[in-house]
Amino acid sequence: MVSRVIPVDNFDLVIFGGTGDLARRKILPGLYRRFVAGQIPDETRIIGAARSEHDDDDYRHFVQDAVCEFVASKKHDQEQINAFLKLFFYVKTDALGEEGWDKIASMMKPDVIRVFYFSVGPRLFSPIAERLHRFEIAQDDSRIVVEKPFGRDLETARALNQELASHFDEHQIFRIDHYLGKETVQNLMAVRFGNILFEPLWNSQYVDHIQITVAETVGVGGRGGYYDKSGAIRDMVQNHLMQLLCLIAMEPPSQFEHDAVRDEKLKVIRALDPVERDEIVRGQYGAGDDSSSYLEDSENPESTTESFIAMKVQVSNWRWKGTPIYLRTGKRLRARASEIAVVFKDPPHSIFGQQDGRRGNVLVIRLQPDEGMNLRVTIKEPGPGGMRLIEVPLDMSFAEALGEDGADFPDAYERLIMDVVRGNQTLFMRGDEVEAAWAWTDPIIEAWQERGDKPITYDTGSSGPDDALALLHRDGRRWREIK
Ligand code: BG6
């Protein structure tokens, strides 16, 4: 399969926090891969901006190291790397002061799109936005890219939206949720709205329940300070899982266009019922044989922050009333496995006898690893002996179906950065969407705080606390195994 790459016009990109971890791991390697794919023209200019003292050569070394460390070695080509490094410059910049801004202004080319990537802590978002405006660096068609966390509750998110809005229009603000850049996540929309097969069944009449699982094996080591103030609800549920839920539950937008898609997602968030106390389970990982506990990783022996959460969510609208959506995410679990499982109801009547006929179909969309889809169907077991039914998967691994090149998906970040350059906001969150998500999560967090709730300790390498299993058992259902 030949992948189709549409080159963009050349652009100026300034990465604030250009020497940071996100730039090193994701942004710079992603840009290199797009460059190798022929999407980024040689005249493009990329400026790293940060507090530390460096010159252009130092920064190019930093970029080269990032590429060598985080891009698959089969894509290392010294000639390409050298050509890529020529795009880079460095400006020592004080986000809270005056240094560096005139220089950045003087380096901007007059007639190209300017993109400003805020790969910095949230407290610097507003000061940078204000300076881009004051030093006349940003133009009416410039774009800013803002990383999560976007606020830590409704109030702070609203304040941040207002501050950014005083310098930039909504069409210039790209709030990143990297889950929306994942190939399979976008495939969710293709599967739902590009086929006639699923949509007629996609409602509470035919769907028994939906499970969304994002399981990780890593702990919070190294990010304990940040994580302890966030927990799984702020770090994963309010954004990534919420986005998955929206794409699964939303009505078909009239077209695949930014506001049409985001309007439909917003309606889902606004239709979410408040979650009852007994519909949420919070956990915290204990120490493993050779790994530390959450309390050690967070360096906070008193911490009541959750590293695991499971919850039952209800979307109260005509399509979904009565079909629960179970969310589950956690760290230090048995396997790294993210998937969405749509569990259909049993056929209304079994012509094969009670035992054999009643098996629900399950559509599983695997986000990672091994992206693909799998539909469990019932067939007759081959051979004599009557009508014995068995379940088999109709399995489509994207790597197998599309061949190695076709399944060599761009990483979420590289796809999203190119969308910013093209000005396509479909896979970015709108301000009202982020606020609605906080409006739903805030009461949940406040209730924990008021009650002084403590998370349940679970074993490293398990599938979370047993109470999470009970959350489904009492509804007569079972989580799919994490594997
Ligand atoms: C980040 C969270 O947004 O997403 C991390 O802050 C989490 O805690 C990560 O590990 C998961 O992303 P991915 O792409 O590895 O599933």
Could you please report the per-residue DSSP string of 160-218? HHHHHHTTS-GGGEEE--GGGGSHHHHHHHHHHHH-TTTGGG-STTTEEEEEEEEE-S-
In the reported structure, the alpha carbon of residue 178 is separated from the centroid of ligand 1 by a whole-number distance in angstroms of: 9
Residue 109 Cα, ligand 1 centroid: separation in angstroms? 35
CB 176 within 8 Å of CB 147 = yes
What number does the ligand 1 atom closest to the CA of 182 have? 14
Bridge partners of residue 173, in order along the sequence: 144
What is the sign of the dihedral through the CA atoms of 327, 329, 334 and 340? Answer: positive
| Mutation test residue for ligand 1: of 236, 238, 309, 413, the one with most atoms within 8 Å of CB | 236
Q: What number of helices (H) and strands (E) belong to the chain?
A: 17, 15
CA atoms within 13 A on the CB side of 180: 26
Residue 339 beta carbon below 6 angstroms from any ligand 1 atom: no
Query: pLDDT tens digits, the chain, 483 residues: what are they?
Result: 445 677 788 899 999 999 999 999 999 999 999 999 999 999 999 999 999 999 999 999 999 999 999 998 887 889 999 999 999 999 999 999 999 999 999 999 998 999 999 999 989 999 999 999 999 999 999 999 999 889 999 999 999 999 999 999 999 999 999 999 998 888 899 999 999 999 999 999 999 999 999 999 999 988 888 999 999 999 999 999 999 999 999 999 999 999 999 999 999 999 999 999 999 999 999 999 999 999 999 999 999 999 999 999 999 999 999 999 999 999 999 999 999 999 999 888 888 875 655 567 999 999 988 888 899 988 888 888 778 888 888 887 777 776 655 556 678 899 999 999 999 999 999 999 999 999 999 999 999 999 999 999 999 999 999 999 999 999 999 999 999
Assess whether 178 carries a catalytic annotation.
no
How many whole angstroms from 177 Cα to the centroid of ligand 1? 10
411 touches ligand 1 (CB under 6 Å): no
Residue whose CA is closest, atom 6 of ligand 1? 235
> What is the torsional sign of CA 417, 421, 426, 429?
positive
216 lines ligand 1 (CB under 6 A): yes
Integer Cα distance of 306 and 455 in angstroms: 6
Q: Is any atom of ligand 1 closer than 6 Å to the C-beta of 235?
A: yes
Q: Give the chain's end-to-end CA distance (angstroms, integer).
A: 30
For residue 338, which atom of ligand 1 is closest to its CA?
16
- CB burial of residue 354 (10 Å; 0-12, 13-18, 19+): exposed
pTM of the model: 0.94
Candidates 167, 178, 209, 240; catalytic one: 240
Angle between helix 242-249 and helix 183-194 axes, rounded to 10 deg: 10
- Tell me how far the alpha carbon of residue 244 lies from the centroid of ligand 1, in angstroms: 14
DSSP 392-404: EEEEEEHHHHHHH
Distance, CA of 66 to CA of 53 (rounded, Å): 19
Q: Contact at 8 Å (CB) between 275 and 312? A: yes
341, 347, 352, 356 alpha-carbon torsion, rounded to 10°:
30
Q: Residue with the nearest Cα to atom 13 of ligand 1? A: 179
